[in-house]
């Protein structure tokens, strides 16, 4: 790729393998590896001050300010700095210029004069140079790096929040024996808290949407690779929620003391958390602004809370609203959690059914 920069920073210059430096007269005064540019002008009598970085030194040599840097050997001060045209002629004597001319004068592998009949390399026909897998891994590493960067604040706040919610709800239903309290604990934390926590991510996702559009339009990666990488990067955060909040609630309330029941409970917690995060991510992709995004998330939480099966039980839902109950993910998760706690057999061994009837 060829990129034109005006007064680039030292960090930006260091990223390039090769540079082409134009003088104030438009002459090419250097073209070659970035690391050898300063040494080339040093041989011509230009001395780089200790306090000047390579980028500023090259810019000064390419401008009329080069006379302040021209200190040839044996001459203390000289105002007769070479012109841009002279520097261009000096560059034509170098080995780098000879390499460029050899490449230009050598025969091309393809006859471009044939026009459309020329077979263009597949490299130029690919929209994304990296595979989907490689792009997903890069997006995963980027998102994980951002998550680790915010560790002192975000992760600490996440842990403290989970401990507070887990302890407050756990003490509220501490070792209860009332079935209604079991249902309330499952509903309050595993349903409402998960949806509210997931909605906290939407503003961050909305801010990151502009970065995705910029990268996607530049051909960095596809939407599939971006979403897959983001989903994988959310796993550590979701596991922290399930490990702290889910575990505190499970053992303090006094749910079934069974390894199989706890594992299923844990998987439900992680799965529902990931599901709500991705559902809100869909809203982020579709919403034109933050106001509509907030409204969509609010309505989603409202209907999932109202029709999950706790506030309005399935037996009192009108027939014409039954489809809505079965369409909501929260109803399936809540029924699964309840069945997992109020049956003596694990869901896996019973084929996710109770008395032969699935989720009844």
- pLDDT category of residue 348 using cuts at 50, 70 and 90: very low
Answer whether residue 25 shows pLDDT above 70.
yes
Q: Residues near 98 by Cβ (< 8 Å), separated by ≥ 6?
A: none
How far apart are the C-alpha atoms of 55 and 300, rounded to whole Å? Answer: 53
Which segment of 107-116, 140-149, 219-228, 340-349 scores lowest on mean pLDDT?
340-349
How far apart are the C-alpha atoms of 16 and 34, rounded to whole Å? Answer: 7
> pLDDT for 34-48, tens place per residue?
888 999 999 888 888
Within 10 angstroms of residue 336's Cβ, the number of other Cβ atoms is: 19
How far apart are the C-alpha atoms of 232 and 147, rounded to whole Å? Answer: 12
**pTM value?**
0.60
In sequence order, what E strands does the chain have? 18-22, 28-33, 353-354, 357-358
How far apart are the C-alpha atoms of 127 and 9, rounded to whole Å? Answer: 30
Decide if 210 contacts 131 (C-beta within 8 A). Answer: no
Within 10 angstroms of residue 138's Cβ, the number of other Cβ atoms is: 16
Helix axes 202-217, 290-306, angle to 10 degrees: 130
How far apart are the C-alpha atoms of 24 and 182, rounded to whole Å? Answer: 79
> pLDDT for 152-188, tens place per residue?
677 788 788 888 888 888 888 888 877 778 788 888 7
Nearest in space to 103 (alpha carbons), one of 91, 95, 115: 95
């Amino acid at each position: 790729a060829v990129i034109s920069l005006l007064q680039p920073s030292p960090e930006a210059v260091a990223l390039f393998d090769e540079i082409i430096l134009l003088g104030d007269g438009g002459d090419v005064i250097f073209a070659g590896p970035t690391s050898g540019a300063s040494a080339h002008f040093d041989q011509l009598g230009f001395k780089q001050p200790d306090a000047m970085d390579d980028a500023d030194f090259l810019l000064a040599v390419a401008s009329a300010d080069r006379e302040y840097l021209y200190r040839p050997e044996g001459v203390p001060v000289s105002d007769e700095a070479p012109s841009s045209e002279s520097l261009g002629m000096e560059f034509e004597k170098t080995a780098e210029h000879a390499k460029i001319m050899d490449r230009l004068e050598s025969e091309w592998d393809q006859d471009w004069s044939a026009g459309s009949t020329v077979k263009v390399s597949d490299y130029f026909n690919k929209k994304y140079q990296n595979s989907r897998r490689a792009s997903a891994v890069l997006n995963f590493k980027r998102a994980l790096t951002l998550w680790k960067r915010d560790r002192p604040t975000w992760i600490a706040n996440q842990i403290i929040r989970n401990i507070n919610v887990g302890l407050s709800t756990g003490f509220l239903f501490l070792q209860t024996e009332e079935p209604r309290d079991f249902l309330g604990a499952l509903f309050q934390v595993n349903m409402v808290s998960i949806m509210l926590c997931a909605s906290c991510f939407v503003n961050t996702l909305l801010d990151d949407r502009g970065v995705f559009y910029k990268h996607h339009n530049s051909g960095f990666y596809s939407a599939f690779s971006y979403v897959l990488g983001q989903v994988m990067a959310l796993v550590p955060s979701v596991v922290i929620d399930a490990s702290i909040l889910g575990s505190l609630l499970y053992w303090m309330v006094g749910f079934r003391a069974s390894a199989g029941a706890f594992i299923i409970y844990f998987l439900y917690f992680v799965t529902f958390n990931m599901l709500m995060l991705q559902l809100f991510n869909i809203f982020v992709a579709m919403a034109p602004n933050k106001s509509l995004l907030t409204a969509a998330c609010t309505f989603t939480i409202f209907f999932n809370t109202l029709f999950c099966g706790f506030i309005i039980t399935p037996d009192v839902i009108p027939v014409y609203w039954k489809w809505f109950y079965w369409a909501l993910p929260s109803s399936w998760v809540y029924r699964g959690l309840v069945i997992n706690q109020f049956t003596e057999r694990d869901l896996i061994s019973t084929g996710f059914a109770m008395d032969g009837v699935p989720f009844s």
